[in-house]
Amino acid sequence: MWEVSTGGTIASIAWGLCLAWVLEYFQVSCETVIILFVMLALDYIFWILDAYLRDKHSVTSSQMRRGFWRKMTRWMLPLIVIAILRWVGAGDLQMASTVIYSILIITEGYSIIGHFFSINTGKDLPEIDAFEMLIKFITNLLKGKLPDVKDKDLNEE
């Protein structure tokens, strides 16, 4: 009655081990990654719905592609930053990982609430640029880990 595919089982185990390694390497919990992924997906869906309800013709495949890639870059950003920090020899990265993911989750949550508000009232919530705050945090974090390079050294090349 129940058929088990050995190839599918082995592939599932391999992908699970790969995911476990990635999460351990980047010092992030599976729960955090899933929460961020769900928030990004929900924000994308409600962004499309909000835009469609405002103006059916404003939702284009080009805008949807741009929105999709925007969400993908936000999902990849913490992984890239942690990889850079590990590469330059930063120690425990748990705090940096937690802060980056927390800011992204809060940003996406606020955006979803903004879409709910807009869908129900036709008005926009005030914009909070938490993503810019995150980029500033990452910039300061990286500046503290990278060697000093003087402007004149860059101009001499």
Per-residue tens of pLDDT for the chain, all 157 residues: 455 555 567 777 777 777 777 777 777 787 888 898 899 899 989 988 998 898 888 778 888 888 888 888 877 888 888 888 888 777 667 777 888 888 889 888 998 999 999 999 988 888 777 777 778 877 877 777 665 544 444 455 4
Q: Per-domain residue ranges for the chain?
A: 26-146
pTM equals: 0.69
CB atoms within 10 A of CB 48: 15
Determine the Cα–Cα distance for residues 53 and 124; give it in Å rounded to an integer. Answer: 13
CA distances from 131 to 22, 105, 108, 110, 124 (A): 24, 10, 9, 11, 18
